């Protein structure tokens, strides 16, 4: 899965980029500007999209629409998770208290994300990608795998096996003095969501079927496919081109799997202090410098997944 050295030209530093690819200080200031007003609308849009889909399904009340809603709700968790990821980097709002408050209660806890634990593990991920302290190392190692092995992983995700492991970990946290506080906060957020869905739809099964079940199934598939497309089969290196894949960003992929510019993942790892709104601009800088070459970019996520399952 590692790119050949011939497509990794040694062209840095330049007058705009440091040797790591990170922008020079004068350029970095504009790229690291937090978009407070836009992110207020982004957070609202996530709630409108998730609860709005369910509201439309309730109004139409047709079996086919309920099925489509189930699938779309798996995608909704990508929205919550990516904006929670932005908050974990303290890039959602420039006011740290507002960033963490909304990141936790407005995004992470409704999506079952233990925000503080996630922030610590995610910073370890950025500190040494694919290194011995990488918290997600087992998710990325061993690629390419066989198509049969890939199929087994995705079936476990799609049928709720992976989701149950995550949910069981949350339930067990109630018995732990360390994890109980976070588990209680996540439970409180879920109670609020369940109440809103039950009252809003008039259906007792709205929460377990249209919130919990998509998180345990559809979202697990989306999350795995995105994660391995970011780092699957890569290696530990100071050169981020050897730790992170580059994939062409189509509108369909950005809708389903990599919203909020998270698909420009190499740029994110080059400078994790750049808010998602500016990642395409940073990626453009990397391309213009000649550091990211056309040969390095996969034409689609499907092409990358085929390569990851060609073992």
Q: What is the pLDDT of residues 79-99, one digit of tens each?
A: 999 999 999 999 999 999 999
pLDDT of 311 over the 90 cut: no
> Does 9 have pLDDT greater than 90?
yes
pLDDT score for 133: 86
pLDDT at 32: 96
pLDDT for residue 243 is more than 90: yes
Tens-place pLDDT, residues 211-235: 999 999 999 999 999 999 999 999 9
pLDDT at res. 41:
98
Burial of 97 (0-12, 13-18, 19+ CB in 10 A): exposed
Average pLDDT over residues 274-289: 98
Q: Are 246 and 292 in contact, with CB atoms under 8 Å apart?
A: yes
Please state, in angstroms and rounded to a whole number, the distance separating the CA atoms of residues 270 and 264.
Answer: 10
| pLDDT score recorded for residue 47 | 97
Give residue 138's pLDDT. Answer: 86
- Percent of the chain at pLDDT above 70? 100
């Amino acid at each position: 899965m590692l790119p050949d050295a011939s497509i990794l030209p040694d062209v840095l530093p330049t007058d705009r980029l440091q040797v790591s690819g990170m922008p020079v200080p004068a350029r970095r200031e504009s790229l690291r500007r937090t978009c407070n007003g836009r992110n207020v609308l982004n957070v609202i849009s996530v709630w409108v999209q998730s609860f709005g889909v369910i509201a439309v399904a309730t109004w139409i009340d047709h079996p086919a629409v309920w099925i489509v809603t189930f699938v779309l709700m798996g995608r909704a968790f990508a929205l919550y998770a990516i904006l929670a990821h932005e908050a974990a980097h303290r890039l959602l709002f420039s006011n740290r208290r507002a960033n963490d408050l909304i990141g936790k209660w407005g995004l992470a806890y409704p999506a079952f994300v233990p925000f503080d634990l996630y922030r610590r593990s995610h910073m370890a991920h950025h500190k040494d990608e694919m290194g011995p302290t990488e918290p997600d190392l087992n998710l990325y190692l061993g690629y390419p795998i066989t198509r049969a092995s890939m199929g087994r992983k995705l079936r476990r995700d799609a049928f709720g096996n992976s989701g149950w492991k995550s949910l069981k970990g949350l339930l067990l946290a109630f018995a732990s003095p360390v994890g109980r506080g976070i588990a209680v906060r996540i439970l409180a957020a879920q109670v609020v969501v369940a109440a809103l869905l039950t009252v809003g739809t008039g259906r007792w099964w709205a929460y377990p079927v249209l919130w919990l079940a998509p998180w345990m199934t559809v979202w697990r598939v989306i999350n795995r496919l995105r994660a391995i497309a970011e780092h699957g089969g890569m290696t530990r290196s100071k050169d981020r081109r050897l730790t992170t894949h580059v994939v062409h960003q189509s509108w369909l992929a950005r809708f389903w799997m990599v919203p909020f510019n998270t698909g420009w993942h190499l740029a994110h790892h080059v400078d994790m202090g750049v808010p998602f709104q500016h990642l395409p601009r940073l990626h453009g800088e990397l391309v213009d410098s000649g550091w990211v070459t056309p040969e390095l970019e996969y034409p689609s996520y499907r092409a990358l997944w085929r390569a990851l399952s060609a073992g």
